Each structure stands twice: as C-alpha cells, then as structure tokens.
Amino acid sequence: TGVLALAWSVAQLGWILGPIVLLIFSSITYYTSILLADCYRFPEPINGTRNPTYMAAVKSYLGPKNLLVCGILQYTSLWGSMVSYTITSATSMREIVRSDCIHKHETTGCNFSGNSSMVMFGAISILLSQIPNLEELTWLSVMAAVMSFGYSSISLGLSIAKWISQGDIRGSVMGVMSRKDISISSASKTWRIFQALGNIAFAYTYAEVLIEIQDTLKSPPSENVTMKKANFNGIAITSIFYITIGCIGYAAFGNNAPGNILTGFNEPFWLVDIANAFIIIHLVGAYQVFAQPIIAFFEDNIVSKWAENTFFQIVWTIRVPFTKSRSLSIMPAKIILRSAFIIFTTLVSMLFPFFNEILGLIGAASFWPLTVYFPIKMHLSQRKIARGAPRWFLLHGLSLVCLVVCFAALIGSFVGIIDGLRHAKPFHMEY
C-alpha cells in the first residue's frame, strides 16, 4: 500500500528532492539486499547451513540478544502493517460508497464515517483468522500480486489521464508551501518532509521477507547468486514504477496531491471502484499473512504457560461437506484469542485513522533496523571485517545516516498523529 502515498510524498519534497530521495532509498535497499542474500547460509554464503527465516539468520550471525531485539521489531512491524491495512481498507470501502454517491450528482451528504468500514474489515479478518494455514496457501500470494498490480496500474493510468487532460505539469521545486491557500510554517513544512521520508521508507520495507523467499530457491546456481539477480530485477522494476507513479501523480495533482492517490479521483467511478475493490481484496489476504506469525507466537506462549488448563485442550469437530477431510477442528481458546487480538488492532485503527502518519511511523520504525542495521551487522560478522577498517567505517556511516533519517521520520509521523488528534474526536472521525 506504500505506493498509494508516493505522490503525496513527492509533493512534500518537491520536484528536485522527491525523485532523488526515491532513488536513494531504492539504492540503499538494493545494496543491503545484496548483503542479506549472502547471509542466507551460515557461516559462509555458498556451503554453510541454511537459515530459513530472517530471524534465524540474525540468531546465527549475531546471537540470541540480537534475535530478541529483531523479533520485537519484526512483530511490531507486522502488527503496525495490520493497523495500516485496516485503515487503508476502510478508506477504500468508504471511497466506493462516496464515489457512487458523487456519481449520482449528490453534492451533499457524501461524507461517511470510516468506523463502520473498519468494523466490517475486522469482522472479515476474525472469520478468516480461524481458517488453518490460510497464510500458506499459494493462491493467496498470487491473488495479492495480481490485485496489487491492478490497483497500482489503475492509479498510474488515472494520473496520466488527469495530467494529459490538464495540459501542464503542476507542482513546484520546493513542494507544498501552503495548505488550502494558507501558508504553512517552516516547522510544519519540516515535519511533513520527515513524514514523507517515512512513507517512502514504508514502500521500500520488505527486507524481512527476502530470506524466506531465498529459502524457496534451488541450487545450483547457489541461492545467493540467484537471489542477487532477482533483487536487482525486482528493485529496479519497483523503483521505476515508484518514481513514475510518484512523479506523474505529483504532476497531475501538484501540491494538492492527496495522501492516498486513489482518493483524488471520482471518475470514471466504476474504474475507481474496481481499484478500491482490488485494494480491499489484496489487504484482506495480506492481513492474514501478517497476522498469523503474531497469533502463532502468542498462542504458543499462552498454551505452554497454561498447558494444564482444560480450556486450552477443548476441540470442537464440525462436519464440513464437500471437503477432503469432511470435518474442521476448532479450538474455542483460539477463537477467543484471535478475535480479541483482531478487535484490539481494529480499535487502535479506529483511534488513529491517519493513513500517511501511520505509514510514516511504520516505515521509520522498521526500515533502519530491518533493512539496514541487521544486514550490515551480519555482513560484518560474516566477513570478519575488523573494527576501524575503511569498510567498517563506511558501512557504519551508512547505517548512522539511515538511523538519523528514520528517527526524523519517526518524529515527523508522531507530530502528524498528534496534530490529527487535535482536530478530530477519537472513534468519531469522518475522513
């Protein structure tokens, strides 16, 4: 969903900084992905022992203490993504209703609360969370990829059409300097720039899944060689698309670029509805993929702690016709635990329904540690690069710069959330 915020991010940075920042983030992501590809095996990249997950690689190279920190960060990132998916899906549901309302030429009464949409998304997520091994289904990944390509392409196509119909390139070198014809302060401008950096970081935060992808590869050639080629092709294509949609979206909307680019279009309403439906379908599946590792972690810990409690041993068997097993086993304890977790996530989403601010917060909190810090630390450990060596200084310098940028983005996103809460009533937000 990070692609939806790129036009807004470029608008905050302007025509010079916007494309440059996108290129810098893509370059850093590509470089650290190369380092990470070599860490799939331990202690050396060709004949070492396989690490099937990102956390397994961290444990092998950096030890249990770093594993604990990595686990906290990774699960927090997953949960934060669940919050953002709830907000984004609710926005898309609301946009479908709103665009249909506007299409009927109803100029008033087309503003709707997102709370009901979030409750609906949460209810769907609770039902799907009870399906065993849903996140492992191959078709789920294929569907997510198709839906993501679909709504991204529609967003780009609508932006191109709007830009061509206007006949000019909008925006400015310095980016947004006013809001609703009122000049914004230098402090507000700075916070929005920082928030934009977090949004871009969110779009490029996927390092934690690269090891899992590499684990599916067969050799020869060695997995790291194949993965490096895949990283180059994937990040190159992604970066070209990101820069294209970010810049064309900015050219079309100028400094009025919406936080979620699809919310800027009303016509053709049927195409906008299709794009928003694609987003909902994509995020319904992605939500489960991100939720299941967290759910499994908490369930395993709770069940092991109260193993003697009979409540956690109750199993209901339900007959399900037209299936291979003819039955489905359900544990009441899991129903309660999973429902409670998703309800809590939905409540947090309703309390902080700020699309760009939440994306910026997640991107800022996860990009530096998961995309930069741990891959660099594992590389230094693997290659046994001496402390104080030129390469040691260069890699730590890169890590430090990314830390400063992400910290600034984190502060900017926090400021944006606080500012949003000042102008809205919690749980009663129309947006």
Residues 85-115: tens digit of each pLDDT: 999 999 899 888 887 777 776 656 666 667 8
> Has residue 427 been placed in a domain?
no
Angle between helix axes 115-129 and 269-305 (nearest 10 degrees) is 50
Mean pLDDT of the chain, nearest integer: 86
Q: Which of 300, 207, 204 is nearest to 243 (CA)?
A: 204
For 338, the token pair is: 């999973």
> What average pLDDT does this structure show over 351-375?
91
Question: Could you give the number of structural domains in the chain?
Answer: 1
Which CATH number covers residue 308?
A: 1.20.1730
Using a CB cutoff of 8 Å and minimum separation of 24, what contacts does 214-219 make? Answer: 214/37, 214/40, 215/40, 215/50, 215/51, 215/52, 215/53
Burial of 50 (0-12, 13-18, 19+ CB in 10 A): middle
In the chain the first and final C-alpha atoms are separated, in Å, by 18
> Has residue 430 been placed in a domain?
no
Query: Cα(40)–Cα(352) distance, rounded to whole angstroms?
Result: 37
Give, for 50, the enclosing helix (H) or strand (E): strand 49-50
For 302-322, write each residue's pLDDT tens digit.
877 776 777 666 777 777 665
Residue 222 pLDDT greater than 70, yes or no:
yes
The Cα-based distances of 233 to 29, 38, 229 in angstroms read: 13, 17, 6
The whole domain housing 76 covers: 2-422
Strand partners, 41: 50
| Cβ atoms of residues 144 and 134 within 8 Å | no
In a 13 Å sphere around the CA of 230, the CA atoms on its Cβ side amount to 15
For 4-47, write each residue's pLDDT tens digit.
999 999 999 999 999 999 999 999 999 999 999 999 888 888 88
